[in-house]
Amino acid sequence: MRRIKLTVAYDGTNYCGWQIQPNGITIEEVLNQKLSKLTGEEIHVIGASRTDSGVHALGNIAVFDTNSTIPPGRFACAVNQKLPEDIVVIHSEEVPQGWHPRYQDCTKYYEYHILNSPIPNPLCRLTTSHVSFPLDEEKMQAAANYLTGTHDFKSFCNIRTNTDDTIRTIYSLDVIRDGEEIKIRVSGNGFLYNMVRIIAGTLIRVGRGFYQPEQIKEILDAKERTEAGVTAPPQGLTLVGIEYSGHVERGQNILRRNTSPEREKNGKNLF
């Protein structure tokens, strides 16, 4: 029996998230079906991040166990021939049998994309959240600075979060404008249910002037979901990649190559 690790990219538009649900098709379900057909075994993948309905990924991680004789590095190519075009395995490799994608020390990287323009762009509707009102990205960055470090993020998680431990560490949180697009880039040791989307929704309210940047500290201290902003729409969110033990997965490398020269020059690399 071998354990195979997959790096998976997908457009989450047509799926009810990662985890198998009774009310619709999911990324996990499709991977299970196609890998089972490929290997002739009953395959059940284990994912690192259970992304929500409509959320995208460049580098989510999954593992599965198999007795198949297919070489580990060939699984990606083989299963891609069976997968729909909105799900792609970009890398496959063998890992130790006990390796679990959710129980390793890791850093997760997300981006939230906002189209800040008076009129929506239909070509961006599946990968960005449209905000027609002007946003002040400098105030959004000032607010974001209050969220970096280790905090109790109870105010920034869905009330249905199934955990008693709401303390997380955010390593970096950058708000970057490029013309009409604003990107919120965040890295951390883990994120609560809807946490990144609630952070995005709260920063948008700061950008519109409803909150002052310094109010973020009060929101954190309140430990009350109703104090933070609304949960931003899912289509603007992408899980960029997950870093284990100093190795950045391929989805993350894709985005690193897109770091702007200006930010590199100023010492403000992507993460």
Q: Name the binding residues for substrate.
A: 110
Indicate the annotated binding residues: 110
* Structure tokens given for 127: 């990968």
The answer to whether the beta carbons of residues 251 and 108 sit under 8 Å apart is no
Which one is catalytic: 52, 136, 164, 178? 52
How far is Cα 41 from Cα 88, in angstroms, rounded to an integer? Answer: 21
The answer to whether the beta carbons of residues 193 and 158 sit under 8 Å apart is yes
3-state SS assignment for residue 200: helix
Q: Which residues are bridge partners to 187 per DSSP?
A: 109, 172
How far is Cα 20 from Cα 14, in angstroms, rounded to an integer? Answer: 14
Q: Which residues are bridge partners to 2 per DSSP?
A: 66
Residue with tokens 């079906």: 33
Q: Is 174 designated active site?
A: no
The answer to whether the beta carbons of residues 174 and 141 sit under 8 Å apart is yes
- Report, as residue numbers or ranges, the catalytic residues: 52
